[in-house]
Amino acid sequence: MAAPARRGLGWMEPALDVIERRYFQPESSRQNWSARDWARATGGALAERLGPALSEAVAACNVELPKGCWALLVAARLENERRLASHRRALGELAPALEARGIATVLFKGLALERHYPAAGVREADDVDLLVTHEDLAAVEASLRELGYRRWAGGGRPSSRYALAYAREVGNAEEVQLDLHPSWHEVSLTSDGERVRLGDTSERVLHIELDGMKWSVLPPRVELYLAAAHAVLHSLRTLSVYLDLAVLLCTAGPDALDYSWALARVTGRQRHLRHAVSTAADLFRLPVDREYTSLPRRLGVPAAVRVGYLGFGRRFLPSSLVMELLLRRGLRKKVTFARWVLGHKPREAEVADVTGGQPKRLARMLRGLRWLKGTLLRYQVPGSLLLRP
């Protein structure tokens, strides 16, 4: 069974330990840190998108740190609260437009996950994510254009990997970004907007009130399943995605992990779930049943790339494509996935589709190369600008 929910801010205390273990030698102690050490830890927290959470953890644990570092954490917290307020205003404007057109959407990630955190403004926000149906996608885009949004990114075939992103500048050149997802990690919305499909099963959405407007959100146990998939497959993984998973493990209820495990067996993502839960439990010291965890050597993934470790303060990040390839068992499944990434159709479909010949097949492969965005292995030094003396 999953770990029992922690009350208050107790689950935030490991945030300090995570930064300490992530960026410093094992023998170092927080009690002996100098101002330079705290600057390095603060820079790492901001790079890992843990600035607001670390500010709350520092305040809750009564930890003293240099004024400059505290100012950076407070500034990150205030900036995050301002960004969240702009997201709420944007949703308040969008909700009547969608209701007038009779469009059903589901709010997920971002503001939806923030409701599980015990303190407001702790989860760092980036954009607003909406799950829409393929049929309503054009109507939602029209509503966004009427409100002054412009197409910012996305295109090609809408998929679980790349969303259609719209952005709008508001006061003081502040930009609000909304991402439209026809599907996300095998999850899609039914035509009536009351249920979400996950493989061969479906779940009824929940309804919450946000600033006086009603929005649909995913059930916590579905969010737990998606958080595990996102933590493994996000191509620029930061510790914040594992913090989301840790929070859900503590708040989603004792049956949520059981449900996620059963769903992962149906969708073939058992290894994804084991990988993510093992890492979150290790990072944030959560008591999770051994049935849902696994040693790194049994994941088929080198221990150095679980969260991107390559020496202290440095990361060697495999892209989501590489992680997906590593987590698929068997040579045949790996080859099938590699062919799919490169734009090949399944062999049965290629036999059935005899029109177009070689030029059409090459065009499909070129389109598939768009999915190899960025480099397969990404090298990053988190917080490098803030860590310079």
Q: Mean per-residue pLDDT for 274-299?
A: 72
| pLDDT tens, position by position, 84-102 | 998 999 999 999 999 999 9
| pLDDT tens, position by position, 50-60 | 889 888 888 88
Whether the Cβ atoms of residue 19 and residue 50 lie closer than 8 Å to each other = yes
Bridge partner residues of 217 (DSSP): 107, 206
Q: Tell me the C-alpha distance between 66 and 328, whole Å.
A: 46
Q: Which residue ranges make up each domain of the chain? A: 10-319+374-387, 331-372
What is the residue-wise DSSP string for 178-200?
EEEESEETTEEE-TTSSEEEETT
pLDDT band at residue 305 under the 50/70/90 scheme: very low
pLDDT for 63 beyond 50: yes
Highest mean pLDDT among 107-121, 259-273, 324-338 belongs to: 107-121
pLDDT band at residue 229 under the 50/70/90 scheme: confident
Q: Mean per-residue pLDDT for 300-312?
A: 42
Q: Mean per-residue pLDDT for 20-40?
A: 74
Higher pLDDT, 365 or 69: 69
| pLDDT tens, position by position, 113-157 | 998 888 888 898 888 999 999 889 889 999 999 998 888 765 544
Edge to edge, the sheet with strand 164-169 lists 150-153, 164-169, 175-181, 128-131, 106-108, 213-217, 206-210
The predicted structure's pLDDT at residue 231:
80
Contacts of 11 (CB under 8 A, 6+ apart): 246, 247, 250, 284
pLDDT for 346 beyond 90: no
What are the distances in angstroms from CA 235 to CA 268, 372, 377? 20, 11, 9
Whether the Cβ atoms of residue 232 and residue 272 lie closer than 8 Å to each other = yes
DSSP conformational letter for 382? T
Q: Tell me the C-alpha distance between 166 and 147, whole Å.
A: 11
pLDDT band at residue 385 under the 50/70/90 scheme: very low
Q: How far apart are the first and last CA of the chain?
A: 47
The predicted structure's pLDDT at residue 293:
72
Q: Is 73 helix (H, G, I), strand (E, B) or coil?
A: helix
The predicted structure's pLDDT at residue 232:
74
Instruction: For the domain covering 10-319+374-387, report its CATH number.
Output: 3.30.460.40
